[in-house]
Structure 1
Amino acid sequence: MATATPSNTSYGSVRLTHLAALDVKGEDAEKFLQGQASAQVGLADGRFAPLTCFCTPKGRMLANAQLLRLDEGHFRLLLSNTLLDSLANHLKKFAAFYRAELTALPGITIVGASDNAPALADQLGLTLPQQVGTHTTSGQASALRYPGDIPRWLFCCEGPIEGINDDDDALAGWQLEDIRSGLAWLTDAQQDHFLPQMLNWEALGGISFKKGCYTGQEVVARAHFRGQVKKRLMRLSVETASLPDVGASVVNGDDKAVGEVVVSAFNNQGSVELLAVMNTKVAEEMTPLFLAGAPASLLPLPYAIERVDPEQLAVSINA
């Protein structure tokens, strides 16, 4: 466990060092991605940026990402920096059969901003998008509206940006807003471990059940239509002075593991908030929960655990 000071969700702008970008370009880029991603790739129209994921043939997540179309034949995936190389290497095996080129961008500048987002947008020549899940692009930069109780945006720029906060507490503040939004980015520590539904990905509009085949689609669809998902992403709080490791066990009163931590961050009350993949019976049984001996409490998520079709999201955004 790592010890840290409590974070505050109020920040100007912060470098999002936990994220990275993977570009997919070429005449067949859309066709190629359509056969690999859980998203209906055509919905990425230069405004709507659907969530998506990439799976093994057994339906386990290799990475989840947000998909932006920057230009005709030019897509960008935003994902955990720990999965950038492995996803690129995985997809290159299939891209060889298409007129599509993958380029990992580990050095790209990715910034999160809240109260000073308008000034940053002006600096980059961007108009701020106002609907969650939409983006704008201008030259070599883009702005993506993120979910959260406080308005916030992600900026992606191929050049340096001056005056960006590199403080760990500011980054933790951004991640805390992700946690409160019920949004978890898979990392290498749990790659090839979860079905997409275990991260509530269909409740966030990250799975199209209306598109054709993609790698792992049959398993993902069967789990959905047969109701076979017995683990779900849940939000918890723990009174502890240390951040739990990724994969740390949440246990019940009988010391039986009922969940595992995916991401955690300090809040400004001195406790930890986290997202963990939990046995669905936990919410039904109202059993006491513990993490490393400290009592843990379930907190509400800001969305219902039900299917949200990205096709419908696209219609509502463009209405």
Structure 2
Amino acid sequence: MSATSSVSLHLPSLAWTSLSDWQAIAVTGADSKSYLQGQVTCGVVQLDTEHSTLGAHCDAKGKMWSLFRLFHHNQGYALWQHKSGIETALQEIKKYSVFSKVDLELSSQISIGVLGEQADSFIDSITDGQGDVRSIASGSAIKIDSQRWLLLVNEDELESLKPQLQNAEEISADAWDYVDVVNGIPRVIQSQQNTHIPQTLNLQALDGINFEKGCYTGQETVARAKYRGTNKKVMRLLQGTANENAAFTFERQVGENWRGAGEAIAQYRNQQGEALALIVLNKDIEFDTQFRLAGDTTNTWSLVELPYDIEQ
């Protein structure tokens, strides 16, 4: 196999960015836990107040309407996800809510990313507790990984936080995308809704599927993919170069010819034109297969390793 990605990003020791492309669905009500448990791939009943989990909501055939980070939030839950397609995601996940004491709505709160090796220390300074999910004023602080935290708060809360962020560098949200992509963290955008089953985007390798829980929408397909090996596609990481206005749609080399390989799930490009992309490919594709952006005859892309095992 190829080496890991050589596309790097220099993060300041403490930085923040506005994540305007992300939003949450807020879930409240006496039946919120049981309702979500019967709708999503992850274990809601087992999720304590100090942790978050990735998860997905599928249709009856196991195709994903949304892929989110789920956590306890403001006396209920938040399903935090890419904003593209979130209105459809809300319509689908609330479809049966009339039969339960549960309210689901788009949150008006904003998303702020805190990044860097000092992110933990900064969050410690503005919150109480030691968990990966903590209450903060109007919302929550959620640990994403070793160098990233999400703040989901009211818009006016950002102004009160700015004095405490004065030692943090404001950076582009591209940095957040970079960490997601290089770590193989998928998302479902509008154009990809109702297209992939959870295992196609490696959600089982990211602890986003609880195979021990009871029934939920699409469970039969998800279980069959695991126990009968019916899933033939996985998400992989590509590395190459791209110009500033590139559309991340790929072709793969087949002998002397090129065939369509699909559009990126997520991508990142730095100022030097070095780029990364997550893309769904056949499980059995050769690791030395060459790729290119559609129509680009001068630059090729190659597969690089993901930081986790996709053969689960």
TM-score category of the 2 structures, normalised to the smaller one: 0.7 to 0.9
Q: Which residue among 100, 103, 116 is the counterpart of 1:101?
A: 103
Provide Cα deviations, 1:72-119, integer angstroms capped at 9, x if missing partner. Answer: 5x11110111232112212222111000011211x3121111235357
Paired position in structure 2 for 1:304: 309
Matched, 1:37 2:40: yes
SS of 1:44's equivalent in the other structure is coil
Over aligned residues, Cα RMSD in angstroms? 2.4
**What amino acid maps onto 1:305 in structure 2?**
I
Tell me the percent identity.
28
**What amino acid maps onto 1:252 in structure 2?**
Q
Q: Which residue among 189, 192, 195 is the counterpart of 1:190?
A: 192
**What amino acid maps onto 2:189 in structure 1?**
T
Kindly tell me the number of residue pairs found equivalent between the two proteins.
Answer: 291
Change beyond 3 A, Cα 1:69–1:257: same
1:257 and 1:289 map into 2 onto residues whose CA distance is 10
Provide Cα deviations, 1:24-57, integer angstroms capped at 9, x if missing partner. Answer: 1111111110110001111221012111100011
SS of 2:85's equivalent in the other structure is helix
Paired position in structure 2 for 1:291: 293
Paired position in structure 1 for 2:115: 114
Matched, 1:154 2:150: yes
Change beyond 3 A, Cα 1:244–1:219: farther
Paired position in structure 2 for 1:173: 175
Unaligned runs of 5+ in 1: 1-5, 308-319
SS of 1:242's equivalent in the other structure is coil
Q: Give the conservation status (yes or no) of the 8 Å contact 1:252–1:258.
A: no
**TM-score, structure 1 as length reference:** 0.83
Change beyond 3 A, Cα 1:92–1:46: same
2:220 and 2:241 map into 1 onto residues whose CA distance is 41
Unaligned runs of 5+ in 2: 1-6
**What amino acid maps onto 1:41 in structure 2?**
V
Q: Give the conservation status (yes or no) of the 8 Å contact 2:74–2:139.
A: no
Deviates more, 1:228-237 or 1:249-258: 249-258
SS of 1:161's equivalent in the other structure is helix
**What amino acid maps onto 2:53 in structure 1?**
P
2:119 and 2:292 map into 1 onto residues whose CA distance is 38
Deviates more, 1:155-164 or 1:22-31: 155-164
**What amino acid maps onto 2:275 in structure 1?**
V
Change beyond 3 A, Cα 1:259–1:282: farther
**What amino acid maps onto 1:136 in structure 2?**
R
Q: Which residue among 267, 271, 274 is the counterpart of 1:271?
A: 274
Q: Give the conservation status (yes or no) of the 8 Å contact 2:244–2:273.
A: no
**TM-score, structure 2 as length reference:** 0.85
Paired position in structure 2 for 1:89: 91
Paired position in structure 1 for 2:57: 54
